Amino acid sequence: MLGYPNCPFCGGSGYLRRELPREHPDFGKLEICSCRQGRVSVQVRQRLHSLSHLDDLTGLTFETFLPRGRNGLGDQQANSLQWAYNRARRYAGNLDGWLLIIGNYGSGKTHLAAAIANFAVGMGVPTLFLTVPDLLDTLRFAYDAEDTTFEQRFEEIRSANLLVLDDFGTHNATEWAQEKLFQIINYRYINHLPLVVTTNLAMDQIEGRIRSRLQDPELVSVVRIQAPDYRRPIDDSGHPELSSLDLHGKKTFDNISQRLDEGLSESEVSSLEKAVQAARAFAEKPQGWLVFFGEYGSGKTHLAAAIANYRASLGDPPLFIVWLDLLDHLRATFGHDSKVSYDRRFEEIRTTPLLVLDDLSTQSMTPWVRDKLYQLFNHRYNAELPTVITSADSPDLMDARIRSRLLDTRMCSMYHIAVPSYHGGTQNRKTRSKKTTKK
């Protein structure tokens, strides 16, 4: 007997058929009797729990999450963590709609997703927690499984009361994988079943059909975590590991030379003044992109470092990095002794909350470097991440794909600093010109 022996509905079989007209799509279909429903629910919960490997994630709860992050985080980063934590707790309490958590490696996405899953399990909700690669492997193994069929496993996944998909975007995007993921997500979309997704991808990197579901504002709540990888070292000054800002610690807005005693033309002085004003405004409220270009020694790096030092003084140290150093860091990941993968290092750079990229040179680039620069810019452009760029190159000489991003005035403000190279002297230009002529 599957049900209770004296059940007046199923007679102990555990199943029953509803009285329906023949044309009804459920005519003749067996349904689980209420006398067996409780027992089945327990079995379903246990089955999903074993598939999820949640036993390995029992320590990832709301109680063990640090809402303000580790020591050394700036206010902006800590606030984004606090907001994500609060939103995840509210979602766990009602499981209404979908929750999309976006953030860098090690930013806390998986911890919050697992905390939601553990909370739901504690409330008796049948929950399935899977990384996307594990989900796809689970489906593939079902073809040869002895205890289930592919159809049963697929139905088990797509119809779970709560489905949590962790690390969306780390899977091998074969046509089969994309189709299975779309079928799962589309089923839950149509039936309004609770779904939690974590990813480090920008929206434009997600397959179009899935992206359209994840961008439905009536169903999906989006949480962006701007905190850095908690495994990444932060030096004593509070700067990110890759940042070279400590070498420019004396470059501030207080000691920028206005160069009024050098005999510069009115237009040259005006170009510098406008750049300084733009830098101060950006430092107060980093939004969009800010680009300074001009000849070497014109003050571009000083302005970029002043912005970075100002943000660091507020507790939000940005990633300040010279373009050639960035390339060296990426190339170093291919070494046998590298402890960081290329993918992780590149993701760390392109998703940093505020990037200050100094001395960008687009001349004599290899195709690989050109593509990396485009990928970096394109991600930050689409994700609308604040970025400061300095370059001695005119935008007209840059790759067309990159130039198109820089010319978008909705996102980017460009300032040409038209002053000559600064050497720290007080002599006027006429005097310098005479000395040069004598030589």
Query: What global pTM score does this model have?
Result: 0.55
Task: Give the strand order in the sheet containing 98-103.
Answer: 127-131, 162-168, 195-199, 98-103, 220-225
Q: Report which secondary-structure segment, H or E, holds 416.
A: strand 412-416
Each residue of 44-88: pLDDT tens digit? Answer: 556 656 666 677 788 899 999 888 765 556 667 778 889 999 999
The angle subtended at Cα 419 by Cα 415 and Cα 424, nearest 5°, is: 125
In terms of Cα–Cα distance, which of 292, 324, 309, 326 is closest to 412? 292
What pLDDT, on a 0 to 100 scale, did the predictor assign at position 205? 79
| Percentage of the chain modeled with pLDDT above 70 | 79
Each residue of 188-203: pLDDT tens digit? Answer: 999 999 999 999 887 8
In terms of Cα–Cα distance, which of 366, 358, 364, 357 is closest to 387? 357
What pLDDT, on a 0 to 100 scale, did the predictor assign at position 7? 61
Ordered by where they begin, the domains of the chain are 1-32 (no CATH), 37-225 (3.40.50.300), 245-416 (3.40.50.300)
Q: What tokens does 88 get?
A: 């995840």
Asked if 309 contacts 249 with a C-beta cutoff of 8 angstroms, the reply is yes
Concatenated DSSP letters for 237-265? TS-BTT--GGGGTT--GGG----TTS---
Close Cβ partners of 68 (under 8 Å, ≥ 6 residues apart): 78, 81, 82
What pLDDT, on a 0 to 100 scale, did the predictor assign at position 342? 84
Q: In which region does residue 264 sit, left (phi positive, over 0), alpha (psi from -120 to 50) or beta (all else)? A: beta
